[in-house]
Amino acid sequence: MHVRKCTRPSIVVLLLHMIPLFRAESQPPNIVFILADDFGWNDVGYHNSEIKTPNLDALSATGVRLENYYVQPLCTPSRNQLMTGRYQIHTGMQHQIIWPCQPYCVPLEEKLLPQLLRQAGYDTHMVGKWHLGMYRKDCLPTRRGFDSFFGYLTGSEDYFSHVRCHPLPSKLTRCALDLRDGEEIATGYEGQYSTELLTEKVVKIISNQDPRKPAFLYVALQAVHSPLQVPERYMAPYAFIEDPRRRLYAGMVSAMDEAVGNITAALRETGLWNNTVLVFSTDNGGQTLSGGSNWPLRGRKVSLWEGGVRGVAFVASPLLQRPGTVSRELLHVSDWLPTLVGLAGGTLNGTKPLDGFNVWKTISHGSASPRVELLHNIDPLFVDMGACPGGGEGSSREDRRWSSLGFNISVHAAIRYSNWKLLTGYPGCAVWFPRPGGPNSTRAGALKPVMLFDVESDPEERAEVSDSHPSVVEFLLRRLNHHQKTALPIVFPEEDPRCDPGPTGAWGPWA
C-alpha cells in the first residue's frame, strides 16, 4: 500500500474539514426514526436472544437503551400516537386498526409530526408502512407533511410481490398491489424483497440530502410483520432453530438488522451522522403466532400485558450527553412528537393538547422523566385477535368493591402510574409464552375484573396484588374514569364496498 508523506494542510483543506462542525452548531440535527413492525422483547440480541442483531446491539451500546419504554399493542394506534403525540382515546382511534376498506384516517384536523418539522425548516421523507388511513387523498402521507413517500398504505402485504389480499364487503377476496411512489402507483418492483427495497430507497434519500438543510427521515419497515418471508441466505445461521416459524422470523430479523446497518453506514459516509439523532423503536410487542417472542414478559401483540406494550427501543447519536447508558425512566411513544419538535427548534403551535412530554433531557442527560402516568388504552369494544392457548377470558363476576368509583371495570383498559399497573376487563391473551425452544406455555388461572401489579419489581406480572393495595386500586380507577371522560367516541366504520381496486388496480384512495 502506498503511504503518502504528511504535508502541511492548506487553509482551504482546513476550512473544508471545519465545515461540518460549523454546520452541526448552526442547524438542528437530522432526525432518523426507524420503526420496526411486531418486533418482540426477546427478539433483539442484547436481550439475550438466540437471534443475532449485531448492528442493533452496537448502535444501542453506544447510545441509550430505553428499557422502560412503552408502545401501543397494535400497529395503527402506535403510529397514530407517534404522529400526533396524543392518546388514541383523544383521536377516536382506541379500537383495533384501520382495515383497507374502512373509510377513515387519523383526523385531518390533527397536526402531525412531519408537518411540524417541515414548518421548522426540515426536508421530510417517509419510506415504508403508513397504515394511518388512505380512503381519501387528503389522508395520504404526502398530504400530511411528508415531502416524499415510497411504501405501502395498508397494514401488511407480500414481501416480494407487494400485493395485499383482503376480503371485500361483497365477500370477494381482492388481491391487489399496494406500493406507492409519492401518490402514484409504483410498479416494476416485483421480486424485490421489501426490507432490501425499502433500504435502497432510504440510502438514496440520504445520498441526495442537501447537508445544508436538516432532514427528517421516517423509516417504517415492513419487517418483521407476517407473512413470514425472507431470502434463504438470512436463514442459514439459524438451522439450529427447530420451529420453522421461529427460524423464518429469525432470518427476517437478521435482514432488518442488516438494513439498519446499511442506513447508518450511509449516514456516516455522507457525513450526516455527526449531526443526526437516530431513534429505533418497535410498534408493538411480538406476535407469538408468527414466530415472535416477548419472553419473559407476559402476553403478546394485541394484549395490554407487558408483552404487548413494553417495547424494544434505543436512541443513537453523537449528540447524546451520556452515551453507552441504559435508561429505566418511564417513556411512551407519544413522547416522540414533543421531543423531536423540541430538538428541531420547532413550535407546537397548532397542535391539540398533547399527552406526550419532551423527554430529551431524560434520554440524553439521564434526568428524571417528566412522565409519571401512562394510559395504555380504554377500549369498550375490545375483541382479542387470534386464538389464545388456555389463556382464558376475563372473569364475568362483578367486584362490587369498586362499583362506586365510576369506571366500568368490565371494559378492556390499563393504566400505569409510577411502579403500579392496573388492568380491567379482559386484557388479552394472558399466557406466559416461554423462551423459544423451552417448555410449554404457562397458562393463566382465572382472571379478575380488576388486577394490580408492581411492574417495577414484577415485570412478568406474576403476582397480582389488588387485595393488599386497595387504596392504589381506588386511585387508579379514579384516574381511568378521569381519562374516559376526555375520550372521543370510537370511530370504527363499516367497510366501504367502493374500496375495491378491481382486478388490475392498486389499493388506494377511493372516496
Question: Which residues are known to be catalytic?
Answer: 75, 131
Cα atoms in the 13 Å half-sphere on the side-chain side of 357:
16
CA distance 391 to 442: 9
| CB-CB contact of 381 with 426 (8 Å) | no
395, three cell numbers: 372473569
Contacts of 13 (CB under 8 A, 6+ apart): none
| Three-class secondary structure of residue 459 per DSSP | coil
- E strand or H helix at 292: none
Residue 70, strand partner residues: 310, 332
Burial of 386 by CB count in 10 Å (0-12 exposed, 13-18 middle, 19+ buried)? middle
CA distance 377 to 70: 12
Contacts of 312 (CB under 8 A, 6+ apart): 36, 39, 40, 41, 43, 44, 47, 280, 281, 282
Burial of 240 by CB count in 10 Å (0-12 exposed, 13-18 middle, 19+ buried)? exposed
Contacts of 250 (CB under 8 A, 6+ apart): 50, 51, 235, 237, 238, 241, 291
Question: What is the full DSSP assignment across 105-173?
Answer: -S-TTSPPHHHHHHHTT-EEEEEEE--S--SSGGGSGGGTT-SEEEEESSS---TTT-EEEEE-TTSPE
Cite the beta strand spans of 241-318 per DSSP E.
276-282, 313-316
In 3D space, the residue among 253, 244, 206, 205 whose CA is nearest the CA of residue 225 turns out to be 253
In 3D space, the residue among 84, 144, 33 whose CA is nearest the CA of residue 348 turns out to be 84
| CB-CB contact of 338 with 85 (8 Å) | yes
- For 327, phi then psi, to 5°, come to -100, 130
DSSP state of 506: B
CA distance 196 to 202: 10
CA distance 296 to 72: 19
Which amino acid, one-letter code, is at 328? Answer: R
Burial 61-99 (b: 16+ CB within 10 A, else e): eebbbbbbbbbbbbbbbbbbbbbbbbbbbbbbbbbbbbb
